[in-house]
Amino acid sequence: MAMMKLRTFLSSRHEHALEHTGLLDDVVQDPLLEERMVRIRAQITAAIALHAKLAEMGFQVAMTIDLAPLVKAAEEQEIVSRREAKVLMQINMEANEAKHELVFLPRA
């Protein structure tokens, strides 16, 4: 089980701002951390790759790594098939679940 402290991930400015909250040095445990990170990395990687592909093909794309609108644009431009778009949206959904749900079912 992954154990961490908030202080580890903060800039000195944020650390200073949160010094009196009591949150910085509490040990946090997350048995799902590795699965969370895999899902989030997959989402970000897919978004960056899709953004690059759209830009490379000359399409105007917003400077974002929000995967859902990138998938929609790629499907509209027929860069990805409906099936491929569904897979990308599944990746997006799983990452959002990992980011926003305290408990979720790991992938099989």
- Mean of pLDDT values over 77-90: 97
Q: Can you give the pLDDT at residue 107?
A: 78
pLDDT, one tens digit per residue, over 15-50 is 999 999 999 999 999 999 999 999 999 999 999 999
Spatial distance between the Cα atoms of 27 and 82, rounded to a whole number of angstroms: 44
* Mean pLDDT of the residues in the chain: 95
Whether the pLDDT of residue 3 is over 90: the answer is no
Mean pLDDT of 66-87: 97
Q: What span, in angstroms and rounded, lies between the C-alpha atoms of 34 and 47?
A: 20
Residue 108, pLDDT score: 67
